[in-house]
Structures are given as C-alpha cells and as structure tokens.
Amino acid sequence: MKTRLWACLAAGLLAEMTVGVPAALASARTAAGASAAPGPVSAVAELRALADYDTSGDPKAALRRIDAALAGARKAGAVDPVDRLMAEATRAEALFWMGRYKEALAGFRDFDAEMTARNQPMTPRRAEIVNNIGSALSSMGKLDEARTYKLRALELSETLAGRDSSEYAAALYGLALIDYRRGLPLEAIPKVQQAVTVATLASTRTGRNNESPAVYGITLSTLQIQAGDSTSAIAAARAAAIWADSHLGKEHRLTLATLNALGAALNDAGLYAQATPILRRALDLRMAKSDPDPRDLGYSLNAVAYALDLAGFSEDALGFYERSAEIFEKLPASDQPMSGANVFGQIARIVRDDGQIDRALALDRKALGMARRIAASPDDPEVLRAELSLAKLLLATGDIDAAQALLDHVNAAYARRALPTNLDRVAALALRAAVDARRGDPAAALAAAKPALEPLRSHLLDRTSAATGTIRLRDQAAGTFVLEARIAIAAGDRETAFDALQMAGMGDLQTAFTSVDAIADRYGPEANAAIRAYLSASAELRELHKQRDRALTRDRTGASPNESPDTTAERIAAAEENLRALDKRIGALVPGYASLTGFEPASLAAARSRLAPGQALLLYGQDAEGLVIMAVTRKAVTAAETPVPGRRLAELQRRLRASIEDGVLTDGKSAFDRDSAYQLYRLLFPQPIARALQESRDVAILAPGMLSALPFGALVTRPPTGDDADPQALRQTDWLARHHGVSTLVTAAPLARPGERHARSRGFAGIGAPLLPRGGTESWTNSLESALAGLPELPGAAQELQAMARSFHGERQVLVGAGATEAAVKAAPLSAAGVIAFATHGLVGGAYRNLVEPALVLTPAPGSDGSEDGLLTASEIARLNLDADWVILSACDTSAGESENAPTYSGLARAFVAAGARALLLSHWPVRDDVASRMTLRTVRAAHGRTSRAEALRRAQMTVLGDTHVPGGAHPATWAPFVLVGE
C-alpha cells in the first residue's frame, strides 16, 4: 500500500488517501480465482503495471496513461477483471490527487461493490479501498460517514497486516484528519505522530510505501503549527523533507510539498530569511516541469508570497499573490481550494496598505464569497477570518453597522471554538469594542477591550509559556495592541495606552535575549541556587508536556496510560505554578531580572518619574490605520495619531535608506533625499508631538520594526531649500539632530546592571575583521554554515580598530583577523576596557538555521569541536565580565531596515548591558575609518558631567556636519551612521 497526501499549507487544508502495492494485488488476484483468457501480452502487462503506479507525482499524466491503458484493454478484448479493477482504482486515485473527489469516490465505491458482488474475501487491497472511500468522503466534508469507513479500515488493517504495518498507519492517519476537520487538531496530533513512526519503520523494513513518512510528516508539521508548537513543526517538516529528498527524489511532487511544509513552519516561527529560499526552490522546481499542475503552482506561489509578506517585503509578495489568485480563480468552482479565499484576503490587505480602499473592499468581499461557497460550515475558520478582515475594513471606512453584523457572528463562533488567547478571537473582540468607540462611547469600548486583550497579554508575558508560542504571536498581535492604544487614548486612559504601545513593540524584545542561565554566578550563592532550581523546573515542565503527549498517543491507540489525563494536567498546572514562584524568587534576588531576561512593560508613572528635565520618551505604534504616537515628559503626556498607509511610510523609509546607501558608496558626494526626510518628519512628528518635545533636548525613542532602524537625527524639520547635492545646502538644512539628541530604547523599563562598578576604566579593546570560511555550499539543510561562508570581507575593519585604539589612552587590546576568535575574546581582560569596539558582521536571531539569538561574527577556530563556531551569541556576550562605559558596534548592521518587519539588534544591546556595559553606539551602515574614530572619540569624551550620552553624540554629529575639511561630511551617510542604544 502507498499512502499519499497533498497539503495546502497556506490555508491548512489537508487531504489524504491510500493506494495499492504488488503484494496486495497478488493476494487479490489469487482470491479472484479463474478469470477470462488474457488479451495481448502488451495490453495485459500495461494494465497490471498500473496497480503499482504512483499517481501523486503527476496525477494528470497518470490519468492520461491509465485511460489509454484501459482503452487498449477494452480494444484487446477479455482481460483479467482484477487487473481491470486495479487499474480503475488507480484511476480513482489520480482523480483524487487532482481534487476531483466526487469522481474518485465513485471509482472507489465501484471497485468495492464489484469485489463484493464477486464474493471475494477481504484482502489488504480491499481494506485500502475502504480507507480511500473514507478519505474521499472526508475531503468532501462528509465527516460522519467518513469516520465509519475509517474505523472499519483501522480494524481491518490491524487484523490483516498488524499494528506495525503501513496499512495500519494509513488508517490511523485518516482518523486523525477527520479529527482535524472537526476542529480538534490536538486530538489529531498524537495519531499522526504514531502514523509517522509506524510508517517510517515499516517503509525502512520493507522498502515500500516511501511516500508515507513524507505525507504524514507534512501533516504533522501543519497541525503543530496550528497548535502553536513551531519548534516541533520545523523538526517534523525538516525530517519529512530529508526523507523525501533521499527516498523519492528531488523533483517528486511530495518532495516539493515537504519543502513547502518546511517553509511554512519556518514562517510560523518568524524565521523568514530561512523560509524564503526553501519555498523559492520548491516553486522553481515546479515551474521547471513540462506540464506543472496548476494547483501545485498556486500553492507554491502563495507560500513564497506569504514568506516575503511576513518578512516585510509586501510589495514583492503582491506579484506572487496575484499570480496565485489568478490560477485558483481559473479552476472550476468545484476544484477551487480554500487557500484561494486566503490569497484574495492577503491581496486585499496589501492594497489597503497602499491606500486602494475600494479595491481592497472588493477583494475582501470576493474572499468571503469564495470561503462561504467552499466551506462546509459557516463557522469554518477561513470563513471567520474572511469576515474578520472585511469587518476591519468596513469599520475603517465608516460602515459601522455592516462591520458590527460580521463581528457579532465571528465573536459568537470564536466563543464556541477558540481559546481566550486565540489571536483572531482577541482581534475580533477588540474590533467589536472599536465599534462602540466609533459610536461615541470610548469608555465602554475600553471596558470591553481590556479584558478581551488581557489573556493574550498575560500569555505573552508569562515566563512559563513556550518561547515558540510567543514568537508565533509577536508580530501578528502588534496591530491589536495598537487598536487598544487607540481606544484608550479616545477614553483618556494614558496609562493603558502606554502599556499597549509597549506590548505592540514587544516583537523584537521578546526573542532578543532570554537566557536565565546567562546571569548565573553573578549575584551570589542564593541567587545562583534559585536560578539552578528554575532551570531544573523548566526541564521538568517540558518533560511533563512530553508525557502528556505520549499519554494521549497511548490512549488513542488502546494502550493503558500510566496515569489519567486529569492527573497529568494537574501535575502540569502545579509545575507551572512552581516555575512562576521560582521566577518571582529570582526577581527578588536579582535587580532588574525581569527586564534582563524577558520583556516587562513599564508603568507610565514609573517611566515619568525617571525622566529628568529636558528628557522625553517617544513611543510609536503602527497598524493598518497608520501611526499612534505618545510623547512622555515629566510635565505631560501627549498622544497623537497620523493616518498613513503602511506602504507609503515604508516607501519613504526605503528612499531615505537608498539615499544613504548612495552616500556611503560615493563618500558623501551624492545627493540626499531631503524631501523624503521632511515628509517622514511630518508623519512621525505631527504638531502636537513636536510641540510637546520643544523643551526636551534628549529624546529616547521606542519604535517597532523598520522604524527602529531609522536615523531619526537625519530627518528634516523644515521644508528644505537648495540643491540636495550641494554640501552648503546640506549644512544649512534644519536637521532633527540640531534640536534633539536621540537614543533608541531597548525597553521603557530600566535595565539593571550586574554587580558593583569598579573605578572608571580607561582602556580600549578592539575586536573584529574576522577571517571567514570560504567555499561553503548552498543547502537548505545547512544554511547557517553556508551563510557564514557567503559573508563579505571587511577590508577596512582592522584599520578602523587600530585607528580607534590610537585615539584612546590606557591599556589597548586589539584582536583582529586570526586573533579575533571566541576563545580569545572570552579570555581577554575586557573588564579593564572603558570602551570596547566590534567591527564585524552582526546576525539577527532566527535569520539562519540553528541561530535562535543574535550574534556577532568572529573567526572560527580551526579544528574545534564545534563549541568555537565563530559566533559570539547574545547568551555568550551576557556571560562576559565587562565594566564598559561604551560598547561600539561598527558596520555590523548593514541590512537593518530593509523591510517593514526587519528585526533590530535589541538582543545584543540587552546582552551587553547584562555583561556590564552602560551604553552602546551601533552603526546602521558601514562607517568610514576616518569618521568612525573621530566620532566615537568625541562622543565618549564629551559624555560626562551634565552632558548626556545622547547630547554627546549629537555634538559629535554636528561637528562632522559643520567641518568643511571632512570630505562628504555634510551628507548624513557620513555624520549620522551611529545610533545610541541605552537608557
């Protein structure tokens, strides 16, 4: 028997069935007894060959071959009826893979009926057809009838082939998919896990049914995504991809499906940089086929679009979405997959961000119409998502009654089927509250919104929650928290708005640096014991979760569990409570523990109390409506909103970035796009905010994603005059840096620093210019190593560090080239350095496989056991013993800000603070050697007494800007590369 599946990963739509193998054919033919005389040898041989024909790879080609063989057999005359029946069953399988479920069901039933009419005994092949009947019924939404066939197939397969057979795995898998379609993915997961295990062992043992482990692995990954377990989903998809690649071949349809599954799992975990090349590879292989299946192409195009979209490249994604939508729309209505509705909804969102409201409305309505037509229930998840999307747009356009009608249905459905932490449920409740706000009752709206968002907020902040679960929600939840901020501002509740904006920006922070172990041995034996107890309790909780999953598997398969599910649940709850208690204990022993190892929103009152006169906090939130901005000073809290399409804001930032990159390439001799810089200023600093900041010399900014990488000092506060390429006009420009010293916050809450500070250190340490490996091969199974081999050299880094070292007094340490290894850095007396500079590449956590936290690239140690891999990760940085006033990261972030969702280096900042650094200077693009040493030296020397670090950096910038002897010094590419990160 062969078991195959096609998964539409973008929409989570699963399909499955089983087909026959030679052993089953032999037993069926033996049972058939005497038969009619065979026809010509060629016709008989071709017909018999079809019994083992894999139709999943290219079902259209398979159907043509089968029809030709059946026609040849009819023309030849009498043939063995079993051979004919087997060929017709294989034909039904091809129809199934083409999505023609009704025709496939008729073929399967005809086979079963004719075998019954001939009084044939039950054989493995007949049991497979029973299973296939259930599969077709399940795919058609007839779940009750399908379950009857699946249970019968499970019993027959156990009797005929045993519980360790591929037949048993297939029947168990079919039951799991019925659970899924009933909205019970957690019930389905243990069945699919067992099916994967059984099928893999059976296929390895017999050499047959090699498709099964890949099929079940795809489904397992998809279900784990829905359950919020991204880590397990990636592992399942990667195992399926490796199996398919080695057992089915690189161009097999299922191999390509496993790549799509792996890409989807990586997307779900936020690892977009890993997902996109994998999904593009699958798309390229499909397009290279002479007659590609249009549904497969549609799925692949959609998957690539989704990866680009999540990574923030929505403009690039749009073309892929539109090609996918065109394919799905051309399919017959009966063959259109639910993912078609999803694709139209995604296009609607993107064009809405571009300000095309009427087109977005039409697309959302089309998506909802398609979802309702395809779905078996009005409460189907895709129907609810389409209704939610349309309601959001209707509310934005002022059609409040229509929006409320949709939201009332969505909320009623989610109340029955979704947990309180389900993001769609929370978003729908928040939107319903926004309806009340639009009707003129913001107080009532906030009273409804706060309890609706509280379960999600608590889940994201709960330190016992799996990190993968919070990663999955981080970006998607931002817009809902921004909506809460809007409602709170309308209701006059600035405290709630302040909290909501911090939650909206938590994405980078949540996964930046969360290693409890990294701060062990720094706060005394009592704290160390509490940390060790916490780590042990965390491991115990993970094991309990595994025990629960194993118990569910045994329960579903008839084995006796060691304890009842209720008992396991009670033990998990107790373990979670113990973990929270230990977490609280560490917090009492380690100052600032919560902010060092996780994310903790600050209260508005606490944030204001820490501000000195002349200082301000500036928070940004962004959603589909535009920007929500809050300026906080000791005297006042000011909020404002800027309506702006997301695409417009991103385009202005890209223009600014492109202008800076031109300046880098020309050493500041090219033009700078001051008009875009001025337009950005007007959007980011509307008049109420600009007025609120007039008396604030220092402004600390907390902004999400792409905004956090914006060089705020290079914004233009008045309409520019003169030529953009004229140095004199640039020097006379009213830059934001003329009025404010700007710093970037890691968090609005204070970050504690470990231990007692020593006398002020005066030395300098320079580290960088690593020697990188060369000759790596591109591979989706080894992406990090390949990426390191592909990083460009930094020819000026060593000279930059040497020049900086000559500018500082005291002890000087310079580790470059072959000397810039992890071991050398960890062994160096860095606590003697008041200034530490890194001139190397920085990698964002999640950008490559196995890199789950940000890291600085060093020289890999030759012949090491893997512990010295050349990556100084955030956790390793946090273990360093520093006493530095400044850490300078130069030329390490040349890719930041390229997309709307570009992650920042907040993880590195938090790690250096944990290690003992007091502030960071981080460059967003390569810095000229002559400018780097000059600016850093002036900034470091000026930051003392009443001169803040932000003001010191501002003065250094203005010095370079005004110096006519600095070539290209008037261009922001020269004077504005550094951003101050810290309090």
Strand residues in 894-933 grouped as ranges (E): 920-923
The predicted pLDDT at position 431 comes to 97
**Cβ-contact 612, 594 below 8 angstroms:** no
Tokens standing for 157?
């397969």
Q: Greatest CA span in the chain, whole angstroms?
A: 105
Handedness of CA 157, 160, 165, 166 (dihedral sign): negative
Question: What 3-state DSSP class applies to 862?
Answer: coil
State pLDDT tens for residues 826-840.
Answer: 999 998 899 999 988
Read off the pTM. 0.73
Which regions of the chain are under pLDDT 70?
Answer: 1-42, 52, 57, 78, 183, 227-228, 270, 273, 463-475, 507-523, 535, 539, 542-543, 545-566, 591-598, 746, 748-761, 774-788, 790, 844-853, 863-867, 891-907, 982-983
DSSP string, 802-838: HHHHHHS-S-EEEEEETT--HHHHHHS-GGGEEEEEE
The predicted pLDDT at position 794 comes to 78
Q: Rounded distance, CA 233 to CA 210, Å?
A: 21
Q: Rounded distance, CA 232 to CA 422, Å?
A: 19
The predicted pLDDT at position 232 comes to 83
The predicted pLDDT at position 739 comes to 96
Tell which residue, 238, 272, 220, has the closest CA to residue 779. 238
Q: What percentage of the chain's residues is helix, strand, coil (to nearest 5)?
A: 60, 10, 30
Q: Rounded distance, CA 349 to CA 344, Å?
A: 9
Q: Rounded distance, CA 292 to CA 279, Å?
A: 16
State pLDDT tens for residues 130-159.
Answer: 888 888 888 887 888 888 888 888 888 888
Question: What 3-state DSSP class applies to 699?
Answer: strand
How many C-beta atoms surround the C-beta of residue 827 within 10 A? Answer: 9
